[in-house]
Amino acid sequence: MYTPWGKSDYMEKVVRGIIWYGTPSHGGLHVSPKVNAQIHKAWRHADGWYEEDLAWAIVAFHFPNLFPNYLPALSILMDWYPDEYMQVTGEALSDKDSHKLMERKRRESME
At 1, the pLDDT band (50, 70, 90 cuts) reads confident
pLDDT in tens, 47-106: 999 999 999 999 999 999 998 877 789 999 999 999 999 999 999 999 999 999 999 999
pLDDT in tens, 36-45: 999 999 999 9
pTM of the model: 0.91
Domain that holds residue 88: 2-110
| Number of domains making up the chain | 1
CA dihedral over 57, 60, 61, 62, signed as positive or negative: positive
